[in-house]
Chains A and B, each alone.
Chain A
């Protein structure tokens, strides 16, 4: 029972990470109509920039603004130079151009930081683990991630549903052309949305640093899972990204944690581990295929 609870928390933590990435991606997707494969690169840049500042200054907390600012700046730059040219293009060109961006960013990171993974120093507050309920010890840093993720979710909820910018965002993801026809400066809106997405990606990247290794290719690993979240949740829907993100995070973590053990009941341990690991990796894709076959537009698709 304790074990299941612990894995549930791990799933929640992975889920909010996916949400941070998916929230930006789904808005870029829904409002600008751009498939941005380079979103994982922004996540990587946030992680590298933040970690670099954290290790040089020795302060974990200084890394947060550094990661956020770096990711947002690169995001603005990318939007202004490349993405802006892609709005009117078809999906194929967008996939290719942003695929090219992945290659470019990965190599630039290798040029600057090398191929070795780097590690983020954790402040001492987060050492050890705390007892949340009797018998359940949990690392406080993971709790911090969950808290930050949920806070961002609440913040985004208010931003989207209670502010003027949020209104434009909602309108944009429902009917882009109508918003433009009404005289809204969509270019500014696009830049803001892309910057916001980059910011969230950078935050996610820096926060995951201490848990996973900060290395080249980290963006691609999580990018596919993020796209699955966006598609299952419904393109353009923050709510969908939240539900699907948490859902997928939990499902994926649970499969990874328990499937090999269950399979060991039927087969040799080494086979069980290999099959368990890859079936768990398949899990989210299978889920996406099933969801799309039942609801071709995803769970909470915005617009018509």
Chain B
């Protein structure tokens, strides 16, 4: 039962957030809360390869951006009624665009992962960064889809029976998708697949000697991580009603890594707490001073140099338990 306390508490907080925001008269709180949910999903997907699998991917924002662009591109084709590549029509249905966003970003991850995973160490970090930069510049060059300015999505994708023009409704849709995603993630990391992944991080050679095809497992994880980021990006495009290459800038990949580390590498709730801590910090620091990045940098430096295991590590130590 004790295991359920944190998830129930988190869901309750997120579910009550729109009400709280209305009570204190700060709509920005709901926006912040929605951003936390979406970045938590993206960070959790990165955590699967970074924390559980030990693969330092420095290009995770690319899949996030690809997911967002799938929504944007499908929407612009639905508006103009011109088929995508002349093959299939655009769409403004969330139940259509989300799966397509996951598939496309998964395919991008498959291609990039298949090539990148042949290297390791520093070279892996750099090659994932390189591919992400290529995707970034690819979207900058797509003048048909706004180039550097991106695509404005006039209305959030529709869901039958829901009024998606209402921001609060969109918020709850995001919450439902996030809860489903984390439930699925819970199953993944606790499955035998998750165990193999952790084994690979600890000692890849040993796993290989045990007869595990490590390359294939790492690639599966890489693709799953890509789809997760794509899903989060697709939601983000709907929430912001906007998508641009900025979403996949390499510093965004850096921010996702920060969220994972801040929360606690390779822990289930780490990415949620990390995303929350990062975005809340950004929210209030930016409110306080225009030079908030200076404070953020200092805090980050202290966290990296002097704490072990991020927020989850601190919690574990406070409880006196051993992780």
| B21 contacts the other chain (CB 8 A) | no
Chain B residues whose C-beta falls within 8 Å of the C-beta of A108 in the assembled complex: 294
Q: Are B304 and A288 closer than 8 Å at their CB atoms?
A: no
| B160 contacts the other chain (CB 8 A) | no
| B131 contacts the other chain (CB 8 A) | yes
- Of the residues B134, B293, B294, B305, contact of A282 by C-beta under 8 Å: B134
| A275 contacts the other chain (CB 8 A) | yes
Looking at chain A's contact residues, is the secondary structure mostly helix, strand, loop, or mixed? Answer: helix
A96-B258, A99-B258 given; A224·B129 CB < 8 A: yes
What separation, in Å, do the CA atoms of A134 and B300 have in the docked complex?
A: 57
Stretch of B120-128, B174-182, B208-216, B225-233 with 4 or more beta carbons under 8 angstroms from chain A? B120-128
Q: Are A103 and B297 closer than 8 Å at their CB atoms?
A: yes
Least CB distance from A208 to B in Å reads 21
Chain A residues whose C-beta falls within 8 Å of the C-beta of B291 in the assembled complex: 107, 110-111
Which residues B81-127 have CB closer than 8 A to chain A? 115, 118-123, 125-127
Chain B residues whose C-beta falls within 8 Å of the C-beta of A99 in the assembled complex: 254, 258, 300
A96-B257, A107-B294, A288-B130 given; A293·B301 CB < 8 A: no
What separation, in Å, do the CA atoms of A111 and B292 have in the docked complex?
A: 12
Q: Are B141 and A278 closer than 8 Å at their CB atoms?
A: yes
Q: Are A106 and B304 closer than 8 Å at their CB atoms?
A: no
Which residues B40-57 have CB closer than 8 A to chain A? 50, 56
- Of the residues A101, A270, A279, contact of B137 by C-beta under 8 Å: A279
Q: Are A278 and B140 closer than 8 Å at their CB atoms?
A: yes
Q: Are A96 and B261 closer than 8 Å at their CB atoms?
A: yes
Chain B residues whose C-beta falls within 8 Å of the C-beta of A91 in the assembled complex: 56, 121-122, 125
What separation, in Å, do the CA atoms of A275 and B250 have in the docked complex?
A: 20
Least CB distance from B296 to A in Å reads 6
Q: Are A282 and B137 closer than 8 Å at their CB atoms?
A: yes
Q: Are A296 and B258 closer than 8 Å at their CB atoms?
A: no
A95-B56, A103-B294 given; A224·B301 CB < 8 A: no
What separation, in Å, do the CA atoms of A235 and B123 have in the docked complex?
A: 9
| B222 contacts the other chain (CB 8 A) | no
Least CB distance from A173 to B in Å reads 13
Nearest A residue to B291 via CB reads A107
What separation, in Å, do the CA atoms of A228 and B127 have in the docked complex?
A: 9
Task: Digitize B198-220: 1 where CB-to-A-CB distance is under 8 Å, 0 elsewhere.
Answer: 00000000000000000000000
Q: Are B300 and A289 closer than 8 Å at their CB atoms?
A: no
For B125, B251, B304, which residue has the most chain A Cβ atoms within 10 angstroms? B304
Q: Are A286 and B134 closer than 8 Å at their CB atoms?
A: yes
| B298 contacts the other chain (CB 8 A) | yes
What separation, in Å, do the CA atoms of A231 and B261 have in the docked complex?
A: 25
Least CB distance from A7 to B in Å reads 21
Task: Digitize B243-260: 1 where CB-to-A-CB distance is under 8 Å, 0 elsewhere.
Answer: 000000011001001100
Least CB distance from B137 to A in Å reads 4
Nearest B residue to A85 via CB reads B305
| A104 contacts the other chain (CB 8 A) | yes
A106-B293, A289-B131 given; A231·B138 CB < 8 A: no
Chain A residues whose C-beta falls within 8 Å of the C-beta of B265 in the assembled complex: 92
Chain B residues whose C-beta falls within 8 Å of the C-beta of A293 in the assembled complex: 115, 118-119
What separation, in Å, do the CA atoms of A278 and B115 have in the docked complex?
A: 22
Which residues A280-298 have CB closer than 8 A to chain B? 281-282, 285-286, 288-289, 292-293, 296-298
Least CB distance from A42 to B in Å reads 16
Chain A residues whose C-beta falls within 8 Å of the C-beta of B31 in the assembled complex: none
Q: Which 5 A-B pairs have the closest CB atoms?
A: A103-B297, A278-B141, A107-B294, A104-B297, A100-B300
Can you report 19 residue pairs joining A to B where beta carbons are below 8 Å apart?
A82-B301, A91-B122, A93-B261, A95-B254, A97-B305, A100-B296, A100-B298, A101-B301, A107-B291, A110-B291, A111-B294, A220-B251, A228-B126, A231-B126, A274-B147, A275-B141, A278-B140, A285-B133, A297-B123
If A281-B133, A296-B118 are given as contacts, then 4 extra A-B residue pairs at C-beta distance below 8 Å, sorted by A number, are: A35-B125, A107-B297, A231-B122, A282-B137
